[in-house]
Amino acid sequence: QEQLMESGGGLVQPGGSLRLSCAASVSIFSFLAVDWNRQVPGKERELVASIAPSGISNYLNSVKGRFTISRDNGKKSVYLQMNSLKPEDTAVYFCHLLIGTKDYWGQGTQVTVSS
């Protein structure tokens, strides 16, 4: 059964860095686009970054230049390097991929940016 598992969240001071990881138990992982999303209570989930099978990436405007998404197909993993973190980056971050018409989500990892 396909599963996604995030890790790497935590509490960090403004200006700090965190690296999120998403491990996928998906046999066709290397053929799939994967994305990171985040959600704050009371707000809709928003797409933060995505990476295609080719490695081409796209970012939410507010994180461009600060966040970097990458993937390791051999490890079936996707990463989100987050630098220069701001309080407004505080959210639960979710890994997501789509197989056909079915969405797969991880359980989420909390990122809190606060002094």
H or E element: which one contains 80?
A: strand 77-82
Mean local confidence (pLDDT), 17-44: 96
Confidence band of 92 (pLDDT split at 50, 70, 90): very high
- Tokens (6 digits) for 114: 């606060």
Closest by CA to 39, choosing from 31, 51, 48, is 48
Q: Are 53 and 31 in contact (CB under 8 A)?
A: yes
Q: What is the pLDDT of residue 1?
A: 79
pLDDT on residue 110: 98
Closest to 7 (Cα-Cα) out of 18, 22, 28: 22
Closest by CA position to 105, among listed 42, 90, 97, 113: 97
Could you identify the residue written with the tokens 């928003």? 46
